[in-house]
Structure 1
């Protein structure tokens, strides 16, 4: 698999190099030179396969030249060794596709665990890696647990202080060992900026074997393609013909993966790009002007991102496929409407959380007669226990993985969003 740098098309690398580098020159994201496709007859066969076998087939379309299908099957099996996604019917024409049944109760488990398997498969015996990543809530836990205890791999996770839920923080800031966490006195965008500055420092990058596990890493995106095929396989043929998928968006990696699934040949009619009040993309799609505003804190904190990295990949994909961006549905939802929607879902018998509620609201508002809608459930409501309980006035039971962490002490460091301070930490810790 060859990939090119979106900021310098002459920089081309293979899959292994793209995983190890994370970012290309000038902080450019990597994107496939060739976009594979699946013919309808082959797709029909694939949809009848089990999740692991089908996922192996999908991923082999991209990386079979570097990893044999037999080895890839074993890596996929290890990465996705937890309960698969579930479809839960909400109304006659709307269902939730729950992606939060992994070890850290979020959809990020798929990408993070597959990336960990890929790093391990390509890593030389004594090769040292420093995984540096920023999180707005769920990525941190998924990455931390995926790499926890891995030899010669050090993980450093940046997150905005006071702007993720207490239980999100407990899941990854209590591990210790090879997992280091730093709360940053700022926003997620500040954290992301620090990560990019670290990658721009060539000497630092080489000396500590710097890599990133954000959705900027192509291995994570490829893994996420797989569950869109699973979703498609779980609905009726009638529903498949007019499927609309509503995606809660932060850094836009999840939507990028869905669009890559469509590019492969999965006949999804439409996607809805859903944001909270950090609505850079909806405003851009409406006006054609890219004008990020200062990030504001909301109850859907994992979506509190004003400058989403993966949007450039989406634009590139639309350009390559000659798709029209005007066909992408979109919208933003305020906190007040999110609260109303959580209460509405609860009355329908479904206990949700803010991010999925936003996706449900926009799906409900934009679904056309005859269409079938899936909205993605990206995190377990228990991760936002205090917020959800206050809104629903209902006690949420903690899953075992959260119960085991709730009384553990936080091991985080704290710094201002200053690159020199981060650099010192990366070199000395």
Structure 2
């Protein structure tokens, strides 16, 4: 598999190198040189496969012969060794596709665990690796648990202090061992900026074997394509030609993966890019002006991102496929409307959380006659227990994954958003 740097097309690497580097020169994202396409007759056969077998087939279309299909199957099996996504009926024409049944109760488990298997598989010389990543909530836990106690791998996770839920923090800041966590006095965008600065320091990058586990890493992104095929396979055949999927968007990796699934040949009619008050992309799609504002805190904190990293990949894909960006549906939802929507879902018999509620709201408002809608449930509502209970005035039981960590002490360090401070930490620890 060949990939090119979106900021320097002459820089081309194979899949193994892209996984190892994370980012290319000038902090450029890697993107496939070839965009494979599955023929309709092949797609029908693939939709009959079990999740692991189908996911192996999908990933092999991108990775080609860099990893044998047999070995890839074993990697996928280890990565996705948890309950598969569940489709839950909400109304006659709308279902929720729950992606939060992994070990850290969020959709990020798919990408993080596959990336961990890829690094383990591709690191033939057993070189020391430092994973540096930023999280706005769920990435941190998924990455921490995926790499926990992995030999020759050190994980550093940055997160905005006081801007993720208490239970999100407990999931990844109580592990210790090879997992180090740092709360940053700032926003997620500040955390993301520090990660980019670290990658821009060539000497530092080489000396500690720096890599990233954000959705900027191609292995995480490709893994997420797989559950869109699973979603499609669960839809009644008569509904498949009019499927609309609403995606809660933060860094836009999840939507990028969905669009890559469409590029492969999955006939999804339309996507809705769903954001909260941090609405850089909806405003851009509305007026054509890229004008990020200061990030504001909301009850859907994992989407509190004003400068989404993956947006250049989406633009590149639309350009390459000659798709019309104006046909991408979009919208933003305020906290007040999010709260109202959570109560509406509860009245329909479904307990949700703020991120999925935003996707449901926009899907409900934009779904046309004859269309079938699916919105992604990206995190377990218990991860936002205090917020959801306050809004719904209803108690939420904690799953075992959260209950066993709630009373453990936080092991995090704290710094200002100062690259020199972070660099010192990376070198000394």
Give me the TM-score of the superposition, normalised by structure 2: 1.00
Deviation at 1:187, TM superposition (A): 0.1
In structure 1, what is the equivalent of residue 259 of structure 2? 259
Q: 1:207-246: per-residue Cα shift (whole Å, max 9, x none)?
A: 0000000000000010000000000000111110100000
- SS of the aligned residue for 1:156 comes to strand
The corresponding residue for 1:333 is 333
Q: Matched residues in 2 for 1:12 and 1:188: separation?
A: 30
2-structure distance, mates of 1:213, 1:396 = 31
Q: Which whole-Å CA distance do the structure 2 matches of 1:268 and 1:176 have between them?
A: 42
Task: Measure the CA separation in 2 of the matches of 1:111 and 1:344.
Answer: 31
Residue 348 of structure 2: aligned partner:
348
5+ long unaligned stretches in structure 2: none
Aligned to 2:369: 369
Deviations 1:96-145 (A, max 9, x none): 00000000000000000000000000113430100000000000000000
Distance in 1 between the 2:64 and 2:75 partners?
Answer: 13
CA shift for structure 1 position 64: 2.2
CA distance in structure 2 between the partners assigned to 1:397 and 1:385 by the alignment: 9
For 2:263 and 2:65, how far apart are their aligned partners in 1? 20
Distance in 2, matches of 1:190 and 1:174, equals: 23
Deviations 1:286-344 (A, max 9, x none): 00000000000000000000000000000000000000000000000000000000000
Please list, as runs of the form range in 1=range in 2, the aligned pairs for 1:235-274 lying within 5 A after superposition.
235-274=235-274
Matches within 5 A, 1:397-408: 397-408=397-408
Report the counterpart of residue 102 of structure 1 in structure 2.
102
Map of 1:297 onto structure 2: 297
Indicate whether 1:176 and 2:176 are aligned.
yes
1:104-119 to 2 correspondence within 5 Å?
Answer: 104-119=104-119
Pairing of 1:209-288 with structure 2 (within 5 A): 209-288=209-288
Residue 32 of structure 1 corresponds to 32
1:390 aligns with 390
Equivalent in the alignment of 1:199: 199
The separation in 2 between residues aligned to 1:192 and 1:232, in whole angstroms, is 33
- Higher mean alpha-carbon deviation, 122-131 vs 203-212, is at 122-131
How many residue pairs are counted as aligned between the two chains?
429
Q: CA deviation at 1:380?
A: 0.1
Q: Following superposition of structure 1 onto structure 2, how do residues 5-44 of structure 1 map, counting pairs within 5 Å?
A: 5-44=5-44
Runs of 4+ in 1 over 3 A off after TM superposition: none
| RMSD between aligned residues | 0.4
Deviation of the 1:353 alpha carbon: 0.1
In structure 2, C-alpha distance between the alignment counterparts of 1:287 and 1:27, rounded to whole Å: 27
How far apart are the structure 1 equivalents of 2:41 and 2:169?
A: 46
Q: CA deviation at 1:65?
A: 1.6
